[in-house]
A and B are shown apart, each in its own frame.
Chain A
Amino acid sequence: NAGVIQTPRHKVTGKGQEATLWCEPISGHSAVFWYRQTIVQGLEFLTYFRNQAPIDDSGMPKERFSAQMPNQSHSTLKIQSTQPQDSAVYLCASSLVPNTLYFGEGSRLIVV
């Protein structure tokens, strides 16, 4: 069991560029969550999928952020026209049963 795999682990992008972050959940897990972690705001919920369907995206910034889960084995978080305030560690988690989350090691995004 390789756990939740996130790629890239680190990404530096220029302001205005697009960034795509990938998450491979644990095989068989039906729910995938995206969170964002910064020193100032802490861990913030972004969105989650269950059985590949979007369930709750209330934490997603309305513009520039989108998430998809095209199949069971991966989810993507895309940020268009990145801004310095998007710099954060983006964490993906998966679960099979409620309240049992397994987190990946995160993708650290730095926008310069």
Chain B
Amino acid sequence: GQQVQQSPTSLVLQEGENAELQCNFSTSLNSMQWFYQRPGGSLISVFYNPSGTKQSGRLTSTTVIKERRSSLHISSSQITDSGTYLCAMENTEGADRLTFGKGTQLIIQP
């Protein structure tokens, strides 16, 4: 079964609204990361967040390892935030290897 579940699969918001993206893991994990991908583009690491809360500008990531979940919060969303956000985990068996969720497609409208 899918080890990494992301929700929602897509999210359409108006510019200025806040976005909340969720990631749940079915197995124990060592760490997790959030990546951003533009259509046809490469993946860019947004957060490496094995546990706790991290903030970078308008983005905040919270990971609760014991509950096997992580969230990405985007405040005051902008059109340029549009794209796909993927979470990935390093499980306790596969050192260095990441297992990805299928992503949340975020569309910010003017």
Contact = CB atoms under 8 A, between A and B. Distances in A.
A31 B96 contact: yes
A100 B43 contact: no
A103 B86 contact: no
A106 interface: yes
Contact of A99 (B48, B100, B102): B48
A108 to B, nearest CB: 8
Given A43-B100, A99-B31, A99-B90, 9 more contacts: A31-B96, A42-B102, A95-B96, A100-B45, A100-B48, A103-B43, A103-B44, A104-B42, A106-B42
B99 A45 contact: yes
Given A99-B33, A99-B90, A100-B48, A45 B42 contact: no
A43 to B, nearest CB: 4
Interface string B38-64: 001111110010000000000000000
B94 interface: yes
A91 interface: yes
Contact of B45 (A33, A45, A101, A104): A101
Chain A contact patch, size range: 20 to 34
A43 B4 CA distance: 11
Contacts of A50: 96
Interface string B81-95: 000001010100011
Contact of A91 (B31, B42, B102): B42
A103 B48 CA distance: 15
B103 A42 contact: yes
Contacts of A35: 100
B45 A56 contact: no
Contacts of A101: 43, 45, 98
Most chain-A CB neighbours within 10 Å: which of B33, B43, B48, B101? B43
A64 B103 CA distance: 28
B101 A42 contact: yes
Nearest to B4: A42
A86 interface: no
